[in-house]
């Protein structure tokens, strides 16, 4: 059974900060993701993986927040963003709104972690 509560956690693996988002990703979740990424950027992190493998649904406001962090990481900090665990539908949405102009997508977190280091 999928967890229906939103949760966000992050871990640092070498140079890569991995963020795990689970549950329904609504506007509040999007704001929480932005706050977490900004905090990590301020600590000097520039390589990020965001894993959506346990996300139930990603709403439009949350997608806008993900685009915002993609721009912050890539444009402002010349960093790398790799997303993982997207459903086919979410992959299409990320492509349509332009997130994939900034970020790469991998099917697994392990793959994404490797890509983030390139």
- pLDDT per position as a tens digit, 91-118: 999 999 999 999 999 999 999 999 999 9
Q: How confident is the model at residue 3 (pLDDT cuts 50, 70, 90)?
A: low
State which residues form the domain around 81: 7-116
Given phi > 0 = left and psi -120 to 50 = alpha, else beta, which region is 49? beta
Digit-coded pLDDT (tens) for 17-36: 999 999 999 999 999 999 99
Residue 1 in any domain: the answer is no
In a domain, 17, yes or no: yes
CATH code for the domain in which residue 112 is found = 3.30.750.24
Q: How confident is the model at residue 56 (pLDDT cuts 50, 70, 90)?
A: confident
**Residue 46 within a domain:** yes
Look up the pTM and report it: 0.94
Number of domains forming the structure of the chain: 1
106: in domain: yes
Asked if the structure places residue 86 within a domain, the reply is: yes
Asked whether residue 70 is domain-assigned, the answer is: yes
Torsion angle, alpha carbons of 59, 61, 63, 65, to 10? -140
Over the range 80-109, which residues count as b (16 or more CB within 10 Å of their CB) and which as e? bbbbbbbeeebbebbeeeebbebbbbbeeb
Pair of tokens at residue 102:
């900034």
Distance CA 6, CA 20 (A): 11
Task: Say if 2 falls within a structural domain.
Answer: no
Confidence tier at 1 by pLDDT (50, 70, 90): very low
Residue 68 lies in a domain: yes
Average pLDDT over all residues of the chain: 95
């Amino acid at each position: 059974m999928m967890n229906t509560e939103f949760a966000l956690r992050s871990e640092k693996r070498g140079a890569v900060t991995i963020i795990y988002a689970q549950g329904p990703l609504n506007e509040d979740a999007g704001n929480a993701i932005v706050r977490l990424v900004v905090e990590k950027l301020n600590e000097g992190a520039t390589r990020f993986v965001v894993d959506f493998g346990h996300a139930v649904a990603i709403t439009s406001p949350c997608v806008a927040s993900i685009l915002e962090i993609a721009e912050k990481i890539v444009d402002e900090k010349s960093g790398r963003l790799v997303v993982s665990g997207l459903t086919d539908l979410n992959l299409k949405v990320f492509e349509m709104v332009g997130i994939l102009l900034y970020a790469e997508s991998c099917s697994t977190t392990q793959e994404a972690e490797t890509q983030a280091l390139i």
